[in-house]
């Protein structure tokens, strides 16, 4: 039987951000970097990948470690991190993985005969004279490669542009030969960074990082993280070389820009840097992106949302949900773990993750322990929102909490809607379940749980009872 699909779409103890999704042989594969739970930096893990049947997007299979950081000749001691990769199929039908190490300005390439197999180091992107890209005078440091191969040529986009750094101009395009390594067209900037945005149409949404490229019909969509960091934006061109024109925001991992049930500039999730891309699965298009967890920048999880590409080529911004790949709302009955919350906030708004005063998605144990996630540090006014459910005949709701808190959880079906139930909780150092009758009208709606009271508690999840 097909499983419901959630956000995050991988197990709650898995931290695979920067997701680049592709469909090969009827399966969706996601390639990303690998964060460590409770880490102090980004991307400490080896590359792993997951795949799912294109017609069963809740059923993800672990493909294992596909590439170890020590396989790169420049990183035999494993002291450098593997930053966000991208994948393309070469003219020879093999799968090529492009990536950057955290302390070098170059682009490395690994290759495999299978999309989920063990990749082997292949080489470094270089000029015809053998000089590695990033080490030639005038080169900009390489970062976050995005690749697409067409007609025997591979188009490689890279770059990182921080505020105040005029030495980095934007996302840079290099065209590679059939060997997948040799540059045959000189690098050029195709999407401007923040220091070069004036007069370009990219003002306020200039390139920051996370270059990604997809073809949709006869157009090329450049997907990237913009200067505010929490946005995944897009630009469109008729040719992979550009010129690209700014299109808009596809998703924000703080839900900035969404004015459904809230002001557009109000954050309802703790955002941060973002990275992902779009993919067509069985005729529908999706945006893959990531969210921050554990009150940290360094433990990120992959999410996805269904999008619409309109006839004019535009992509309206979508909101964060708990049911992104499900194809519709989740069943309005059964137990749902708290880590599926797509909204998490208090009465003190914050666009970015961090701070001891905020609730957070977390887990017990250490990285690698298959411990289910939950929301910790729920305090007075903390709200967890879950979107969306198909309610039919719900008569009661229960919540499971632990912690030294005394108060109640208010239940709503919209952020500022009527309180449909109040569930008292009390001090406990073990998980306890509390239940209340409720009358949720039939139809599609959300669940919002708001804690009112003293102390702090952890929220394991809730059950909808029919």
pLDDT in tens, 143-177: 999 999 999 999 999 999 999 999 999 999 999 99
Other C-beta atoms closer than 10 Å to the C-beta of 264 total: 11
Give the closest residue to 35 by CA, choosing from 315, 367, 282: 367
Question: What's the whole-model pTM score?
Answer: 0.97
pLDDT digits (tens, 9 = 90+) for 218-260: 999 999 999 999 999 999 999 999 999 999 999 999 999 999 9
Q: Is the dihedral of CA 38, 99, 250, 351 positive or negative?
A: positive
58: left (phi over 0), alpha (psi -120 to 50) or beta: alpha
> 138 and 265: one domain?
yes
pLDDT digits (tens, 9 = 90+) for 378-419: 999 999 999 999 999 999 999 999 999 999 999 999 999 999
pLDDT digits (tens, 9 = 90+) for 133-148: 999 999 999 999 999 9
* Residue that is last in its domain, among 251, 272, 307: 307
> 381 and 256: one domain?
no
> 274 and 154: one domain?
yes
pLDDT digits (tens, 9 = 90+) for 435-451: 999 999 999 999 999 99
Under 8 Å between Cβ of 384 and 361: no
> 269 and 188: one domain?
yes
Distance of CA 454 to CAs 104, 338, 400, 424, Å? 49, 20, 17, 12
Query: Is residue 182 in a domain?
Result: yes
> 248 and 384: one domain?
no
> 277 and 342: one domain?
no
Query: Is residue 442 in a domain?
Result: yes
Residue 196 φ/ψ, nearest 5 degrees: -130, 25
What is residue 66's predicted lDDT score, i.e. its pLDDT?
A: 98
> 375 and 265: one domain?
no
Tokens 């540059």 locate to 183
From the candidates 14, 18, 72, 255, give the one annotated as an active-site residue. 18
pLDDT digits (tens, 9 = 90+) for 77-109: 999 999 999 999 999 999 999 999 999 999 999
* Residue that is last in its domain, among 307, 338, 360: 307
CATH number where 341 lies: 2.60.120.260
> 231 and 346: one domain?
no
Label residues 218-237 b or e (16+ Cβ within 10 Å = b): eebbbbbbbbbbbbbbbbbb
Does the annotation count 209 as an active-site position? yes
CATH number where 243 lies: 2.115.10.20
User: Does 355 or 430 have the greater pLDDT score?
Assistant: 430
From the candidates 14, 72, 195, 209, give the one annotated as an active-site residue. 209
Residue 1 predicted with pLDDT over 80: no
Strand 396-403 to strand 457-465: parallel, antiparallel, or no bridges (unpaired)?
A: antiparallel
> 62 and 174: one domain?
yes
How many structural domains is the chain composed of? 2
pLDDT digits (tens, 9 = 90+) for 183-222: 999 999 999 999 999 999 999 999 999 999 999 999 999 9
* Range of the structural domain that residue 298 is part of: 20-307
Residue 2 predicted with pLDDT over 90: no
Mean pLDDT over each residue of the chain, to the nearest integer: 97
Query: Is residue 155 in a domain?
Result: yes
> 276 and 352: one domain?
no
Label residues 425-438 b or e (16+ Cβ within 10 Å = b): beeeeeebebebeb
Burial of residue 217 (CB within 10 Å: 0-12, 13-18, 19+) is exposed
Query: Is residue 10 in a domain?
Result: no
Query: Is residue 317 in a domain?
Result: no
- HSE-CB for 33 with a 13 A CA cutoff: 29
- Chain center to CA of 111: 24
* Residue that is last in its domain, among 275, 307, 339: 307
> 293 and 335: one domain?
no
> 294 and 372: one domain?
no
Does the annotation count 364 as an active-site position? no
Query: Is residue 2 in a domain?
Result: no
What is residue 50's predicted lDDT score, i.e. its pLDDT?
A: 98
What is residue 30's predicted lDDT score, i.e. its pLDDT?
A: 98
């Amino acid at each position: 039987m097909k499983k419901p699909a959630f956000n995050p779409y991988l197990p709650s103890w898995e931290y695979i951000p920067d997701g680049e999704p592709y469909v090969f042989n009827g399966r969706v594969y996601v390639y990303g970097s690998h964060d460590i739970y409770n880490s102090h930096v980004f991307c400490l893990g080896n590359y792993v990948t997951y795949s799912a049947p294109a017609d069963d997007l809740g059923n993800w299979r672990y493909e294992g470690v596909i590439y170890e950081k020590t396989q790169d000749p420049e990183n035999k001691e494993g002291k450098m991190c593997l930053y966000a990769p991208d994948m393309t199929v070469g003219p020879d039908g093999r799968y090529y993985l492009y990536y950057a190490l955290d302390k070098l300005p170059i682009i490395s390439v690994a290759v495999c005969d299978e999309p989920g197999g063990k990749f082997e180091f292949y080489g470094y992107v270089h000029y015809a004279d053998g000089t590695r890209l990033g080490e030639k005078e005038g080169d900009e440091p390489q970062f976050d490669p995005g690749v697409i191969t067409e007609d025997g040529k591979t188009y490689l986009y890279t770059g990182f542009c921080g505020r105040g750094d005029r030495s980095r101009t934007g996302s840079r395009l290099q065209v590679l030969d059939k060997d997948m390594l040799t540059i045959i067209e000189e690098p050029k900037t195709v999407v401007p960074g923040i220091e070069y945005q004036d007069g370009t149409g990219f003002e306020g949404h200039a390139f920051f990082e996370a270059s990604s490229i997809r073809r949709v019909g006869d157009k090329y969509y450049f997907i990237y993280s913009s200067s505010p960091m929490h946005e995944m934006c897009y630009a469109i061109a008729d040719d992979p070389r550009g010129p690209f024109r700014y299109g808009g925001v596809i998703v924000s991992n703080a839900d900035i820009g969404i004015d459904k049930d809230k002001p557009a500039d109000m954050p309802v999730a703790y955002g941060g840097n973002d990275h992902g891309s779009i993919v067509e699965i069985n005729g529908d298009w999706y945006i893959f992106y990531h969210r921050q967890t554990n009150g940290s920048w360094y433990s990120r999880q992959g999410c996805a949302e269904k999008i619409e590409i309109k006839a004019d080529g535009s992509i309206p911004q979508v909101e964060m949900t708990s049911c992104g790949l499900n194809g519709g709302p989740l069943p309005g009955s059964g137990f749902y773990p708290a880590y599926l919350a797509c909204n998490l906030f208090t009465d003190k708004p914050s666009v970015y993750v961090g701070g001891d005063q905020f609730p957070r998605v977390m887990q017990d144990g250490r990285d690698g322990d298959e411990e289910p996630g939950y929301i910790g540090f729920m305090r007075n006014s903390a709200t967890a929102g879950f979107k969306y459910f198909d309610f039919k005949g719900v008569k009661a709701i229960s919540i499971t909490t632990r912690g030294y808190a005394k108060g109640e959880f208010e239940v709503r079906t919209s952020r500022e809607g009527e309180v449909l139930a109040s569930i008292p909780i009390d001090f406990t150092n073990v998980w306890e379940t509390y239940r209340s009758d409720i009358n949720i009208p039939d139809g599609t709606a959300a669940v919002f749980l708001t804690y009112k009271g003293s102390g702090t508690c952890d929220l394991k999840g809730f059950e909808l009872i029919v």
